[in-house]
Structure 1
Amino acid sequence: MNENNLEYLKKTLEGLGFGTKLNDVLETAIRREIPKFNLGITSQRRPLDTTDINAPKTDHLSFWFNFNRSKDSDMYFLNNYDVMLTQAKSTAPRSQNFDLARDHRVTALQAHKLLSGLSFKKEVYPRSREENQQQGVPSEKTPIWFKLSLDITDAYGNHPLRTFRPEYGFDLVETLGKYPLKGLDTPEKLKEAIITLQNGNYYHGEMVIGKKTVPVAIAANPQIKRLNVYDKNMIEIRDEVIFPEKARAKAVESQQSPAQDRATSQAAQPEQPWVQEPEQETGNKRGR
């Protein structure tokens, strides 16, 4: 058995947030030289939208790790793992396969956040360090937002993992400034909100909606470059409610557009020679 390889795999699992619970069964499988095997672990967690540390742990997560032995040596590799999230408030579980290299080593906690509909930001190497070194390119990390498209699945049964680089144009600070949030008027409070949202957590605060100040929970949505806003019962508050002036202006514009389009179309319509002129009625009527 390759002891260094075993220690590396143990550290990989620990670094991904799975602790040391699998160390003994992992060592047993490798000692038996099983060419291909899966190990599993389950955990109960509190829903990510709760602020109550005493809330029941109703989010059930199951993980399966897929190990393979090299055909040319005694080394084993952990290339990917599967996870399933079952929530008390959801009728159907959500599942995903995360490839460690392709998906930039998504951790257990990050997998929970992604399957719960949240987005997070972390710095990753866009290309492998080995490739950079071979081409003489310095290894530099890039901050990237991650989000799962939970409304669709691909040919492999996975939800597409969307990544948004800086050039995509999602500016969290600028986005926060567009919303009537209260309490972010100091650098310390603003920094707290930014870090909370970048880590893929809900930020709980207050927002002025209409003439009232109401408690809200907000989450970053890099895909559409805005915030997801929820009330105290975690019911989404739409932008039309938060920004009624914009909603009214958009409604007026949408009503005017069809009339303008018709006028433009009629004005630009060329004369059509094949259209027969309507017959004009004369005083003489044809009899039978």
Structure 2
Amino acid sequence: MVLGDHQLHDIYSKQDGAAFTLSYQLDDPHGYQLYCIDASLDVPGKENRQVFQYLQADVPAKTALELLQLKLSAPDGQDPFRPLNLKETEQYIHLLKANHMNTQNLDFLKKSLLNLGFGEKVNKELEQQIGKKTPEFTLAAKHEFNQTPIDYQLHFKAGESEGMYFFNKYDATITKAKGEDINQTFYINKGNGITAKEAFNLMEGRAVHKQLFNKDGEKYQAWLQLDPDNLTQNGNKEIKRFNENYGFNLEQVLTGKGIKEMENAESKESLLRSLHKGNAQQITVTRGKEEVKYFVTASPQFKTIDLYDHQMKRIKREELLQPSQKNTQSQKNNRQQKEGLPEKKQQSRKRKMTV
């Protein structure tokens, strides 16, 4: 290689998968001096594709390698042919790290929104707000469940770290037919929390089964239900929790009631999963040669289920009992009532029966 009147001599080297071409220039009377470094790294899975950067002599191999690895994951518009000195290289590394973190952060937020049931409709506006470095903003989302609309305001806030944003909470509003609004705020922790549909179910008065974390970060399972009689300082309904020790076993409650969906593993799992999410789920009950349709919801506080007809009107749970079970239950109730009567009344009844 020739640079002006000075001849360059190249030395090739490899380190940790990266290739380095060290170009030396003859500089009388000092002899050969390192002029520049051509550092390159193959792009995994892409033949004959590389990322590269020309660097000045003061950039050590370790720093050059870090830069190349970052360029693999966070390419940008930097001119690779302009040799960078050590300070410029370190600044470039800082920029690429920030861009990489921002990309990861944005991807995480998008994934969280998707997992929480908000879809991808707000992604474009999310990117715009983060791109403008807006310190705090809200995005609007809307769903409709069971022909009932529900509106959400999703709250995002920038953290102390450069470019990092957090999805901390969302406000949900259901507007009833009479114009009455039901409002509730749900908090998100590291992308986990109540989903959009679960929020709707909770606000409709149903219970939801969730995996939660205690103060020590340990997982536990619990049923959640909003308490309309107790409000927090910000007007939120308190959340009642019924953990595994409370003793509510949904599968056990549904077993033996003649529910067709409980007769095979696949349909049973589907039914239980739907009820765990707080849905009012349709079931089929066999009555002799007939099949009757009902809707059921979980009622963990009372360790039972609630039963509804096809118009979602509440009906007595005893409707689920088989005829033989009804007779047994009736006999049991009569026996309990009889045993609960005062002794004189029981004797009086005995005398009347013997007359």
TM range (shorter): 0.5 to 0.7
1:109 has 2:197 as partner: yes
| 1:199 paired residue among 277, 297, 308 | 277
The match for 1:277 is none
- Secondary structure of 2:301's counterpart equals coil
Q: Which has the higher contact order (CA 8 A, sep 6+)?
A: 1
RMSD: 3.6
1:65 has 2:154 as partner: yes
**Aligned positions of 1:112-131 closer than 5 A:** 112-124=200-212, 126-127=213-214
| 1:31 paired residue among 94, 106, 131 | 131
- Secondary structure of 2:302's counterpart equals coil
TM value normalised by structure 1: 0.67
C-alpha separation between the residues in 2 aligned to 1:238 and 1:21? 42
The match for 2:6 is none
C-alpha separation between the residues in 1 aligned to 2:314 and 2:174? 22
C-alpha separation between the residues in 2 aligned to 1:191 and 1:106? 21
Instruction: Summarize deviations over 1:162-212 as a string: whole Å, max 9, x none.
Output: 222211111112111364545634444433432332233233223479xx9
Gaps of 5+ in 1: 48-57, 133-138, 261-288
> How far is the alpha carbon of 1:234 from its aligned partner?
1.0
Relative distance call for 1:250 and 1:92 in structure 2 (3 A) is: farther
- Secondary structure of 2:255's counterpart equals helix
1:229 has 2:229 as partner: no
- Secondary structure of 2:306's counterpart equals strand
C-alpha separation between the residues in 1 aligned to 2:190 and 2:242? 15
1:16 has 2:116 as partner: yes
Contact 1:115–1:150, Cα closer than 8 Å, also in 2: no
Instruction: Summarize deviations over 1:143-171 as a string: whole Å, max 9, x none.
Output: 32222234553332112222222111111
- Secondary structure of 1:149's counterpart equals strand
Contact 1:120–1:198, Cα closer than 8 Å, also in 2: yes
C-alpha separation between the residues in 1 aligned to 2:278 and 2:297? 7
Relative distance call for 1:28 and 1:143 in structure 2 (3 A) is: same
**Could you tell me which amino acid in structure 1 is paired with residue 276 of structure 2?**
Q
- Secondary structure of 1:25's counterpart equals helix
> How far is the alpha carbon of 1:213 from its aligned partner?
6.1
**Could you tell me which amino acid in structure 2 is paired with residue 28 of structure 1?**
Q
> How far is the alpha carbon of 1:227 from its aligned partner?
0.5
> How far is the alpha carbon of 1:6 from its aligned partner?
2.9
The match for 1:170 is 248
- Once the two structures are overlaid, the 10-residue window that deviates more, 115-124 or 158-167, is 115-124
> How far is the alpha carbon of 1:78 from its aligned partner?
1.7
| 2:171 paired residue among 68, 75, 82 | 82
> How far is the alpha carbon of 1:92 from its aligned partner?
2.1
C-alpha separation between the residues in 1 aligned to 2:248 and 2:108? 37
Instruction: Summarize deviations over 1:209-232 as a string: whole Å, max 9, x none.
Output: 9xx964211111112110110011
**Could you tell me which amino acid in structure 1 is paired with residue 180 of structure 2?**
A
C-alpha separation between the residues in 1 aligned to 2:156 and 2:123? 13
C-alpha separation between the residues in 2 aligned to 1:10 and 1:188? 32
The match for 1:216 is 294
> How far is the alpha carbon of 1:21 from its aligned partner?
1.9
C-alpha separation between the residues in 2 aligned to 1:17 and 1:189? 23
| Structure with larger Rg | 2
Instruction: Summarize deviations over 1:52-105 as a string: whole Å, max 9, x none.
Output: xxxxxx3111111122223464422221111112244x6522211011129951
User: Which one has the bigger strand percentage?
Assistant: 2
C-alpha separation between the residues in 1 aligned to 2:266 and 2:106? 44
- Secondary structure of 2:205's counterpart equals coil
Instruction: Summarize deviations over 1:11-41 as a string: whole Å, max 9, x none.
Output: 3222222222222222222233322222212
